[in-house]
Amino acid sequence: MKLAELSERSGVSTATIKYYLREGLLPPGRRVTATRSAYDDSHLQRLRLVRALIQVGRVPVATAREVLAALEDDSLDHHHRLGIAVGALPGAAEPDPGAPAADLARHTVDALLSRLNWREGAHACGPGSPAYGTLVDAVGALVRLNYPCAVDDLLPYARAAAELAVTDLDLVERYDSPDAQVEAAVALTVLYEPVLLSLRRIAEARESGRRFTSG
Amino acid sequence: MKLAELSERSGVSTATIKYYLREGLLPPGRRVTATRSAYDDSHLQRLRLVRALIQVGRVPVATAREVLAALEDDSLDHHHRLGIAVGALPGAAEPDPGAPAADLARHTVDALLSRLNWREGAHACGPGSPAYGTLVDAVGALVRLNYPCAVDDLLPYARAAAELAVTDLDLVERYDSPDAQVEAAVALTVLYEPVLLSLRRIAEARESGRRFTSG
DNA sequence: TTCATTGGAGAGTGTCACTATCCAATCATG
DNA sequence: CATGATTGGATAGTGACACTCTCCAATGAA
C-alpha cells in the first residue's frame, strides 16, 4: 500500500500521515526503493488507533507516543503493559500547581481507596500513577469550590467505576492475542469515555425531569 | 472588594480576571467611581465556577459563556435551565464531519435509547441535544475502529449512567435554592467527570491485575 | 520523455487561553 | 498637594499544539 492509498483508506491526509511518521506515532513503512515505502494493514489499524486517541481521547501527540511505545514493549507482561499503556493516558488538566486544599484532597482519596480495599494493587492505584494524580486534582477542585466530596459522596462513583471496569475487561477478553487485548484495552478505555459521559448527561436530564417537572 | 483583592482571594491573576470580564464570563463590578468598581462574594463564587469549567472541564470560553447565560436565565423553569446549562457543556471533539458509519452509529444509539425507554424525555435525549450528538460521534468512532458497540455492549454503560445520575441529582438536591441547585448541577456534572474517569482507570487496573496476574 | 509521487525537512497556520503593554483617570499616602 | 500605585479599557503579543504548506531531489509510471 502506498502512502496515498493509506491516506485514502484511512481518510487522513498524506500531510498528517507524514507528520505522524515524523513524530513516531506510526512506524515507517517497508522500504521498497530509496524514495518509496510500502504500508500494510497494520499501519492502517495503527493509524485508526492514533486518530481515536488524538481526536476522541484528546491525547496529546507526545503522550500518544508513550502509550503506543508501551503497547509494543515486548519485555513486559500482559498486565504491566496494559497498566503502563492505560496509565500513560492523560486525565484532566491539572489545576494550579500550588497546593491549596491538595492535602485534604489527597487524604480523602487515600481514605476512599482504603475503604474500598484498593490499596494493595500497586499498579495505577499507587500515588505515583497518573490516574491517582488526576483523582487527587479533581477532588482538590471539588474541595476548593466547596462542593461535596466526602468519602461517602465518592463511594457511589467508585462502585460504579468498579462495575464499569468489569464490563471493560469483559470486552477486552473477547480478543484472542495479548497484543490485541492490550490495544483493545487502550482503545476501549479512551473510546468509551465519551460514551459514558454522554450517557450520564442524558440520564441526568431524565432524572432531572423526573424530579423537577410536574406531569 | 477591589480587583486586586478578588485576584488575591481567588488565586487568579488580575490580567485573567480582566479577560473574563471582557469575555462576559464574569459580570462587571458595581461602579464606585469612573475608574473603580467593587466586587463581592458572588463574583468570587462565579470566578471559581468559571475556573472549574475551563480548567477542569476544559470547556471553551465561548461555551462557558453560554452555560453561564443559561444559569442566569430567569425566564426558564428549573428543569429547563438545568437542561440548557448542562446541555451547553461540550463533549468530546467531533470526528471528521463526513458521515462514515454515522448512520449505523445513530441507529445503534436510537435502539439503545428505545430499549431503555429513554425516548420520551424530550430534553437532552432528543437528536438535537449535544449529549446525543456526542454519543453518536463516540459510537461512530467505535464502529469505524471495529470495536464492539452493539446495543448489548452499551447497555451496561447506560445502566451505570442511570445510577450515576441518581447519585448526581441527590447531591444537587442538597442545595436549597433553585439557583444554587442549577449551579451545583453544572459544577458537579463537570467536576465529577475526571473523578469518575480516574476511578474507572484505577478500577480497570485492579480488575486487570485480578484477571491477568498469577498470585 | 514527461509529469506526478515519494520521503524528508523546515517553516507557516489557525486556534485558544491567556498575558503584557499602554493609557488616561483617579485614589491613597505622606 | 505632590507622587506613585491602581483601575478600567483597549490592543497586541505569547506559547502550546496539531496540523498544513512548501520546497527539494530522486524516482516511478504513462
Range of the domain at A34: 3-212
Residue A15 scores a pLDDT above 90? yes
Of A105-114, A116-125, B93-102, minimum mean pLDDT range: B93-102
DSSP secondary structure code for residue B127 in this structure = T
State which residue has its Cα closest to the C1' atom of D22.
A15
Query: CA A115, A119, A120, A123 torsion: positive or negative?
Result: positive
Q: In this prediction, what percent of chain A has a pLDDT beyond 70?
A: 91
pLDDT number for residue A76: 81
C-beta of residue B139 within 8 angstroms of C-beta of residue A195:
yes
Q: Which of residues 131-190 of A touch strand C (CB under 7 A)?
A: none
Residue type, B206: R
Instruction: Please give the distance of CA B57 from its chain centroid, rounded to a whole number.
Output: 7
B117 Cβ under 8 Å from any chain A Cβ: no
Assigned C-alpha cell, B35: 475608574
- Of B154, B193, B207, which has the smallest distance from its Cβ to A195's Cβ? B154
B36 touches strand C (CB under 7 A): yes
Strands (E), A41-168: none
> Cα torsion for A208, B64, B129, A153, to the nearest 10°?
-30
| Mutual angle of helices A102-115 and A151-172, in 10-degree steps | 60
Residues of B in Cβ contact (< 8 Å) with A93: 55-56, 58
Enumerate residues near strand D (beta carbon within 7 A): A 13, 15-16, 18-19, 32-36, 54-55, 59-62; B 2-5, 14, 18, 21-22, 28-29, 35-37
How far, in Å, is the CA of A60 from the C1' of nucleotide D17? 8
Which nt sits closest to B17, CA to C1'?
C18
Residue A93: which pLDDT band, with cuts at 50, 70 and 90? low
Q: Measured between alpha carbons, how far is A127 from A161 in angstroms, rounded to an integer?
A: 18
Q: Measured between alpha carbons, how far is B162 from A3 in angstroms, rounded to an integer?
A: 45
- Of A153, A161, A167, which has the smallest distance from its Cβ to B199's Cβ? A161
pLDDT number for residue A146: 87
> Going by DSSP bridges, is the β-strand pair B30-33/A36-38 parallel, antiparallel, or unpaired?
unpaired
Residue B157: which pLDDT band, with cuts at 50, 70 and 90? very high
B18 touches strand C (CB under 7 A): yes
Q: Measured between alpha carbons, how far is A64 from A56 in angstroms, rounded to an integer?
A: 12
Q: Which residue in chain B has the smallest CA separation from A112?
A: B199
Residue A102: which pLDDT band, with cuts at 50, 70 and 90? confident
Q: What is the DSSP string of B1-64?
A: --HHHHHHHHT--HHHHHHHHHHTSSPPPEEEETTEEE--HHHHHHHHHHHIIIIIS---HHHH
Residues of A in Cβ contact (< 8 Å) with B92: 56-58, 193-194, 197
Q: Measured between alpha carbons, how far is B91 from B89 in angstroms, rounded to an integer?
A: 7
Assigned C-alpha cell, A65: 507516543
A3 touches strand C (CB under 7 A): yes
Residues of A in Cβ contact (< 8 Å) with B77: 212-213
Q: Measured between alpha carbons, how far is B111 from B158 in angstroms, rounded to an integer?
A: 12
Q: Measured between alpha carbons, how far is A22 from B151 in angstroms, rounded to an integer?
A: 39
Higher per-residue pLDDT: A166 or B81: A166
Give the residue-averaged pLDDT of A180-197: 92
Distance set, CA A188 to CA A19, A174, A185, A205 (Å): 25, 12, 5, 25
Interface test with A, best of B166, B189, B196, B214 (most A CBs within 10 A): B196
Q: Measured between alpha carbons, how far is A182 from A9 in angstroms, rounded to an integer?
A: 24
**Which tens digit of pLDDT belongs to each residue from B95-148?**
555 556 788 999 999 999 999 999 765 554 555 677 888 899 889 889 988 899
- Where is B135: in which H helix or E strand? helix B130-144
- Of B86, B196, B200, which has the smallest distance from its Cβ to A204's Cβ? B86
Distance set, CA A116 to CA A126, B114, B164 (Å): 14, 35, 18
Residue A193 Ramachandran class (φ > 0 left, ψ -120 to 50 alpha, else beta): alpha
Q: Measured between alpha carbons, how far is A169 from A187 in angstroms, rounded to an integer?
A: 12
Distance set, CA A75 to CA A53, A80, B208 (Å): 23, 10, 18
Give the residue-averaged pLDDT of A65-88: 85
Give the residue-averaged pLDDT of B197-202: 94
pLDDT number for residue B121: 55
Q: Do B194 and A56 touch (CB under 8 A)?
A: no
- List all nucleotides in chain C with at least one atom under 7 A from a protein Cβ: 5-9, 16-21, 24-27
* Residues 31-60 in A contacting B (C-alpha not used; CB under 8 Å): 48-49, 51-52, 55-58
Assigned C-alpha cell, A58: 484528546
Q: Do B132 and A187 touch (CB under 8 A)?
A: no
Average pLDDT, chain A: 88
Of B84-98, B154-168, B194-208, minimum mean pLDDT range: B84-98
pLDDT number for residue A3: 94
- The residue among A159, A167, A69, A81 whose CA lies nearest residue A124 is A81
pLDDT number for residue A123: 52
**Which tens digit of pLDDT belongs to each residue from A25-40?**
999 999 888 889 999 9
Assigned C-alpha cell, A153: 459522596
pLDDT number for residue A6: 94
* Number of compact structural domains in chain A: 1
pLDDT number for residue B83: 84
**Which tens digit of pLDDT belongs to each residue from B27-44?**
999 999 888 999 999 999
Interface test with A, best of B137, B146, B172, B212 (most A CBs within 10 A): B212
